[in-house]
Amino acid sequence: MPLFNSQDILVVGAGVLGLCTAAELARRGHAVTVVDPGGLNASAVAAGMIAPAMESAVDDLNPEHAALLRRARDAWADFAEATGVRLDRDLAEWRGGNVEVLAARLAALGLEHAYGREAGRLTTNEDWKVEPAQALAALTQGLRVLEGRATALSRSDGRWRVETTAGSVEADQVVLATGTGAALEGLPEAVATLLALISPIRGQIGLVNERLVDHVVRGPGAYVAPMGAGCVIGATMEAGERSLTPDPERCAEMLEAAWRVLGQTPRPLTIEWRAGVRGATPDGLPMAGEVGQGLHLAVGPRRNGWLLGPLVAGVVADEVEGRSPREPTLAPRRFI
């Protein structure tokens, strides 16, 4: 017999996209179960950046893409209040490198900023952040969580059945928020083809027990951001890498870059290095929405999972409820 056999929704995956989607559906009165495979997921190996301005400038995004990231940021205000996630709205700063170019890009996009040419510093109040550990815990509150790894999926009599290492689960609708995980056995071929488009990108960060900054400071090769009583140093972007074992050489290079960004003399620090694997689609935007009767995707946010979480959640929840897509550019069918 299935563990749960009611008119409910199953979210497979407990990273930021999965938990945001589950929390949004629960807010709307749906019965939701989250399948959590356990372990340290990529959302926990992050600084929790909600940074439409810096992301737009660094990646030289077009106005439409930048506007989408800004809408994603704005979606956090009500969502955080409703879920208990703490938002940090302190300024973000860029130091050194091509700072003048970045300032020009922000100006062209109409994003608020201040640029000090002599100091070589760029600041903005457009970018926020969260503490990933606190946010993940808050998002999980009140959700029904099944600890186990999903292995297969099938459909019968108008319902989905998901096999997990903890037993089987039935639901009317399923949301796959599986990151770069292998496609479940039994997935429709078209959906498996879409998931195969997601490429892995490893990111490495370092958790430091000393508070080196009081706001986010970015620069060439590294950022340093407040995290709890200390801070976090990040982050690499290593396309095609899946190893969860930190690379000492890469970490050492990132630490050297962080000291340069801060303009400080290197000194001994106690650092816990971590590695996580994110998923990216060919166009850098997530796939969010329906891909079959009662089957939905919430995957592929590249390095912007925390920024895009509530926006993706709203898109998926609307389609679960039969509404028209609010962000057509995120529709998975754009790749078909």
pLDDT digits (tens, 9 = 90+) for 246-278: 999 999 999 999 999 999 999 999 999 999 999
> Which secondary-structure segment (H or E) carries 202?
strand 199-208
Residue 83 lies in a domain: no
Secondary structure element (H or E) that encloses residue 220, with its range = none
Residue 293: domain span = 9-43+136-197+282-335
| Same domain membership, residue 205 and residue 271 | yes
Cβ-in-10-Å burial (0-12, 13-18, 19+) of 40 comes to exposed
Pair (35, 150) in one structural domain: yes
- Domain-ending residue, one of 233, 255, 280: 280
Q: What's the pLDDT at 336?
A: 85
And the tokens for 53? 């301005």
On the question of pLDDT at 5 being above 70, the answer is no
Question: Is residue 228 situated within a structural domain?
Answer: yes
CB 291 within 8 A of CB 332: yes
> Do residues 210 and 310 both lie within one domain?
no
Q: Is 20 inside a domain boundary?
A: yes
Structure tokens belonging to residue 195: 């998931």
Mind giving me the DSSP string for 140-163? Answer: HTT-EEEES-EEEEEEETTEEEEE
Type of residue at 300? G
Rg of the chain taking only CA atoms, in angstroms? 20
Please report whether residue 16 resides in a domain. Answer: yes
pLDDT tens, 8-67? 999 999 999 999 999 999 999 999 999 999 988 999 999 999 999 999 999 999 999 999
178 token code pair: 């599986």
Residue 190 lies in a domain: yes
Q: Is the pLDDT of residue 1 over 50?
A: no
Do 238 and 248 fall within a single domain? Answer: yes
Mean pLDDT of the residues in the chain: 95
Residues 267 and 290 in one domain: no
CATH label of the domain that carries residue 207: 3.30.9.10
CA of residue 220 relative to chain centroid, distance: 22
Q: Are residues 256 and 210 in the same domain?
A: yes
CA atoms within 13 A on the CB side of 201: 21
Query: How many domains does one find in the chain?
Result: 2
The 8-class DSSP code of residue 328 comes to G
128-179 per-position pLDDT tens digit? 999 999 999 999 999 999 999 999 999 999 999 999 999 999 999 999 999 9
Residues 191 and 203 both lie in one domain = no
Q: Which of 247, 265, 280 is the last residue of a domain?
A: 280
At 196, list the tokens.
Answer: 């195969």
272 and 253, same domain (yes or no)? yes
Adjacent-strand bridge partners of 239: 201
Which residue, 280, 298, 319, sits at the end of a domain? Answer: 280
For residue 273, what is the DSSP state? E
Do 294 and 192 lie in a common domain? yes
pLDDT on residue 2:
47
Do 256 and 294 have their domain in common?
Answer: no
Predicted local confidence at residue 7, as pLDDT: 53
Tell me if 334 sits within 8 A of 327, measured CB to CB: no
Note the pLDDT tens digit of each residue in 167-217.
Answer: 999 999 999 999 999 899 999 999 999 999 999 999 999 999 999 999 999
pLDDT band for 6, please (50, 70, 90 cuts). Answer: very low
Residue 188's nearest CA partner among 163, 160, 168 is: 160
Report how far residue 190's alpha carbon sits from residue 247's, in angstroms, rounded to the nearest whole number.
36
Indicate whether 286 belongs to any domain: yes
CB atoms within 10 A of CB 47: 25
Is pTM beyond 0.85? Reply is: yes
Instruction: Say yes or no: 240 and 143 in one domain.
Output: no
Helices 63-83 and 16-27 pack at an angle, to 10 degrees, of 60
Query: Which CATH number does the domain housing residue 187 bear?
Result: 3.50.50.60
Tokens of 241: 């890498």
The answer to whether the CB of 297 falls within 8 A of the CB of 190 is no
Read off the tokens for 271.
């650092």
Q: 3-17, 64-78, 210-224: which has the minimum mean pLDDT?
A: 3-17
